[in-house]
Structure 1
Amino acid sequence: MTNFHFRLGTEVDEALRAGRPVVALESTIVSHGLPRPDNLHVARRIEATVREAGAVPATIGMVGGRLVVGLDDAELTRLATVDGVAKLSVRDLAVAAATGADGATTVAATSAVATAAGIGVFATGGLGGVHREAAQTFDESADLVTLARTPIAVVCAGVKSILDVGATLERLETLGVGVVGYRTRRFPGFYLTDAGFDLDWSVDSPEQVAAVLAARRQHGVQSGGLIVANPLPVDEQLDPALHDRTLAEGLALLERDGVTGKAVTPYLLAHFHSATEGASLAVNVRIILRNADLAARIAVAAARTAST
């Protein structure tokens, strides 16, 4: 993995040197995924959740052209409140650094930077994937190809239900990215507990995930990421009928307004928030907090395994 020029936050630096558990967190959810002022409040709750489960949070972002692994509260506040924060995938990092930009890292960029920093577990909400109509548009998230070459465990609620879930799973298989369900054999669909697709593998505990990561290291075979798909309980998901209706409306608006590329996801998420009168936002927050908790427990188990 390419070595990026970045600064480690003091707490993250100390934790990594001591072999203590650390969980990477993205900043795109802070600057682009949640509305103000909820975004900053939720970002702090995510970090607190990681701490409560025994790990150190490392929110990754770019401030004034400098990548930071473990934003402090002032830097987190800056990315949550200032205008013009760029959405950074891996390809954008060098240009943003050279131009002194403030930037929020996507799943792809966060995974790459976290791995370069020596962090093995990452919590996010939903993974990017193959977009609908990709056969015509070739629109596919950089998350997929980045995870194909980045050995990090990503805890997520599957892929966002606004995407082509089946095609995304096919691409993950082709790219050699492992997928396991956490206490499930069905792949979750972000807002929905079940996206309608079976999984070959399931794990039942953070310790079992840590054992998978340890086995991968012991084999010494080059591999990509491991997706730990953590579904919402059925009683916490977005109402499926409301979800389907809102998605159909959003896709129609997307076509009407000619929105493409990386603008698609924030556009549709904003539509969900508006059309569901905040219900989707509440679900989104539950997703990321649950994933942060599980990722921290996996990181703790992995650190324990590495020390024995």
Structure 2
Amino acid sequence: MMPHVPHTVRSTAVSPELSADVAAALADGRAVVALESTLLAHGLPAPRNRAAADELEAAVRAHGAVPATVAVLDGVPRVGLSPDELDRVCGAGLAKLSVRDLGVAVGLRRDGATTVAATAALAAAAGVVVFATGGLGGVHRGARESWDVSADLAALAGTGIVVVCSGVKSILDVAATLEVLETGSVPVLGYRTDSFPGFYRRDSGHPVPWRVDDPAQVAAVWRAHRGLGSAAGLVLAQPVPAADELDGALHDRLLADGLALLAERGITGKDVTPALLEHFHAGSGGASLATNLALVKANAELAARVAVELSR
């Protein structure tokens, strides 16, 4: 009688496909900055999203780094996109992919735009250690009943990447978000600020645990953080440029109206952010869109400077 041989599952690891310029930069030890695609596919209206894609990549290049916009196209995770691929991302119909959705999109050979969590995961898998975005996902208001907590927070607790952002949107529970980051051992640094930013507003009303004032300090903190064995990422929170901050009274009115709108329509989960962004855009006459673009561009520039410092 033949002995029983346990059934084994053969490994089918999926590695991100790198664009030629990203692959060359990583091979040479040069600076690379990851950029998310959900902002383009779901956060900005067409055709402004396609222009923004070029502007963000140009901002990264202008400060000495190679841009690597991340997405899943034809079921292939891609780190670094061609102009034609950016066209596809900025067109209609892409799914919104968090980490849990990546395997589904790859297995079914679908197209998808990556959130902060998914972008961080794919970028880190490719060897990219700096990532620029607009706002981090967080704990939603009423999460004690809804359990609505962004996967971004859990992803950062286990993904070694520096995320440059403008804090979190004011629609979230900022205090709870900061607590979850602390629980996940994710350092939070304020860039030239003592206040945690609130996306459209420079100050969310909450302090940052630590402040840094130049890219060299960020690099020193990151090297020490990783050198001490931490697997967690790091949040570098930069306020929106003062000249581009959304008016306070307008912001508060739009926020109150937007939260009422969500409740009235029963909008929850991943649909909350796109709905509120559209509400802010329409209600502000486009002012919120200008603020959004200004802060993302500033974060891309800072991320490039940090990446260059880390590549030294």
- Shorter-chain-normalised TM-score: which range? over 0.9
Structure 1, 283-292 or 196-205: larger mean CA deviation: 196-205
- Judge conservation of contact 1:159–1:190 (CA < 8 Å) in 2: yes
Aligned to 2:287: 279
**Does residue 193 in structure 1 map to residue 206 in structure 2?**
no
Please report the TM-score for the alignment, with normalisation by the length of structure 1: 0.96
**Cα shift at 1:222:** 2.5
Is 1:60–2:47 an aligned residue pair?
Answer: no
Cα displacement (A) at 1:99: 1.3
Report whether the alignment pairs 1:10 with 2:20: yes
Cα displacement (A) at 1:200: 2.1
- Provide the alpha-carbon RMSD of the alignment: 1.1
Report the 3-state secondary structure (helix = DSSP H, G, I; strand = E; otherwise coil) of the residue aligned with 2:119. Answer: helix
Larger radius of gyration: 2
- How many pairs does the alignment contain? 301
Q: Residue 245 of structure 2: which of 226, 233, 237 is its match? A: 237
CA contact 2:163–2:234 (8 Å) conserved in 1 = yes
What percentage of aligned pairs have identical amino acids?
57
Whether 1:113 aligns to 2:113 is no
Q: Equivalent residue of 2:170, what SS? A: coil
Q: Which residue of 2 aligns with 1:173?
A: 182
Cα deviations across residues 82-131 of structure 1 (Å, max 9, x unaligned)? x2200000000011111111100000000011111001000000000000
User: Shift of the alpha carbon at 1:3?
Assistant: 5.8
Counterpart-to-counterpart distance in 2, 1:122 and 1:187 = 18
Structure 1: state its 5+ residue gaps: none
Alignment pair present for 1:253 and 2:272:
no
Q: Deviations over 1:36-89 (max 9, x none)?
A: 0000000110000000000000000011111110011100111101x2200000
- Show the counterpart of 2:79: 69
TM-superposition CA deviations, 1:153-181 (whole Å, max 9, x none): 00000011111111101111111111000
Matched residue type, 2:292 = N
Alignment of 1:86 onto 2:107: no
* Paired residues of 1:90 and 1:108 also in contact (CA < 8 A): yes
In the TM superposition, 1:24-173 aligns within 5 A as 24-81=34-91, 83-173=92-182
Q: 1:14 is paired with a residue of what secondary structure?
A: helix
**Alignment check: 8 A CA contact 1:121 1:154 kept:** yes
Structure 2 unpaired stretches of 5+: 1-11
Q: TM-score, normalised by structure 2?
A: 0.95
